[in-house]
């Protein structure tokens, strides 16, 4: 009887595995892969913190540069701080000496007075010669000699030269210089400016009204 029972049991139909089991396994694998990829992305992006992003943005942002109004009197030196050589580049006797006296009366420090060491005869108002460190001094002097040409050379010091030419007749008056020095002009300001342009000064073609009476040549030389 036990043999019949075993035959009946072993000969019965087998139970099939439900179809949802492999589907569930596939979905679980996808979920695991997604979780791994998400974790890796968080690890790789962990170095990009909000603080680092803000610092990077700040460093990438352009530095400010704006246009402001400034007056020459605000940025140029006082005449008492400027040393000047006065050269006579004409055949007019005593011209450099007379100009040096007026400059000295206006608080400039006169260093040398002589004929132009370059041996030139200038036909224009004159030349204001300066080195890289004397640009501001030259710009100040240009207000006293409108029409003079600014010429940069390789001198290392701040001392400037005024070489007087044949077209020079008179220096500008103090009232006119004060008005020009108080006149504002646009200038670039800020760390983002590629260059800081010099303050506007009288150019070779500019002039100031009502200058002082002409300097009369004396018998002294140069």
Give the CA distances from residue 165 to residues 80, 88, 122, 123, 210, in Å, rounded to whole numbers and listed in that order. Answer: 25, 7, 4, 5, 20
For the cut 70, the answer to whether the pLDDT of residue 119 exceeds it is yes
d(CA 46, CA 135): 53
Which residues lie closer than 8 Å to 48 by C-beta, 6 or more apart?
A: none
pLDDT for the residue 50? 57
Over the chain, what is the mean pLDDT?
77
pLDDT for the residue 209? 35
Residue 11 in any domain: the answer is no
Residue tagged 């003079």 (tokens) = 148
d(CA 148, CA 139): 11
Residue 195 in any domain: the answer is no
pLDDT for the residue 65? 80
For the cut 90, the answer to whether the pLDDT of residue 140 exceeds it is yes
pLDDT band at 132 (very low <50, low <70, confident <90, very high): very high
For the cut 60, the answer to whether the pLDDT of residue 203 exceeds it is no
Count of domains for the chain? 1
Determine whether 194 is exposed, middle or buried from the number of CB atoms within 10 Å of its CB (0-12, 13-18, 19+): exposed
Inter-residue contact 197 to 171 (CB < 8 Å): no
**Domain span at 173:** 69-189
Residue 116 in any domain: the answer is yes
User: Which segment, 24-38, 63-77, 126-140, is predicted with the most confidence on average?
Assistant: 126-140
Residue 184 in any domain: the answer is yes
pLDDT band at 216 (very low <50, low <70, confident <90, very high): very low
Pairing of strands 126-130, 149-152: parallel
52 vs 111: which has the higher pLDDT: 111
pLDDT for the residue 210? 35
For the cut 80, the answer to whether the pLDDT of residue 160 exceeds it is yes
pLDDT for the residue 41? 67
How much is the pTM?
Answer: 0.61
d(CA 187, CA 70): 7
Residue 1 in any domain: the answer is no
For the cut 90, the answer to whether the pLDDT of residue 206 exceeds it is no
d(CA 173, CA 79): 14
Which residues lie closer than 8 Å to 159 by C-beta, 6 or more apart?
A: 83, 84, 85, 111, 134, 137
Residue 200 in any domain: the answer is no
pLDDT for the residue 8? 46
Question: Phi, psi (5° rounding) for residue 113?
Answer: -130, 120
Respond yes or no on whether the N-terminal peptide bond of residue 222 is cis (omega within 30° of 0): yes
Give the CA distances from residue 214 to residues 97, 168, 180, 197, in Å, rounded to whole numbers and listed in that order. Answer: 14, 9, 20, 33
d(CA 125, CA 151): 13
Inter-residue contact 167 to 90 (CB < 8 Å): no
For the cut 90, the answer to whether the pLDDT of residue 129 exceeds it is yes
What digits encode the pLDDT tens for the residues 83-98?
Answer: 999 999 999 999 999 9
CATH number at residue 97: 3.30.70.2390
For the cut 70, the answer to whether the pLDDT of residue 167 exceeds it is yes
Residue 74 in any domain: the answer is yes
Residue 183 in any domain: the answer is yes
pLDDT band at 200 (very low <50, low <70, confident <90, very high): low
Inter-residue contact 159 to 84 (CB < 8 Å): yes
Give the CA distances from residue 39 to residues 29, 34, 119, in Å, rounded to whole numbers and listed in that order. Answer: 15, 9, 83
């Amino acid at each position: 009887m036990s043999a019949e029972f075993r035959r009946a049991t072993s000969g019965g139909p087998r139970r099939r595995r439900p179809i949802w089991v492999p589907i569930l396994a596939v979905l679980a694998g996808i979920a695991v892969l997604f979780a791994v990829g998400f974790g890796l992305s968080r690890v790789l992006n962990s170095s990009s913190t909000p603080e680092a992003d803000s610092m990077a943005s700040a460093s990438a942002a352009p530095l400010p540069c704006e246009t402001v109004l400034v007056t020459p009197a605000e940025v140029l030196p006082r005449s008492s701080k400027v040393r000047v050589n006065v050269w006579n580049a004409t055949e007019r006797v005593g011209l450099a000496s007379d100009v040096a006296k007026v400059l000295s009366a206006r608080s400039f420090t006169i260093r040398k007075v002589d004929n132009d060491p370059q041996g030139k005869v200038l036909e224009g108002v004159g030349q204001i010669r300066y080195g890289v460190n004397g640009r501001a001094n030259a710009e100040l002097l240009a207000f006293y000699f409108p029409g003079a040409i600014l010429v940069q050379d390789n001198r290392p010091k701040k001392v400037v030269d005024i070489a007087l030419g044949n077209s020079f007749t008179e220096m500008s008056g103090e009232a006119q210089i004060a008005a020009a020095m108080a006149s504002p002009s646009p200038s670039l300001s800020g760390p983002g400016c590629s260059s800081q342009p010099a303050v506007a000064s009288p150019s070779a073609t500019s002039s100031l009204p009502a200058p002082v009476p002409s300097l009369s040549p004396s018998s002294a030389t140069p």
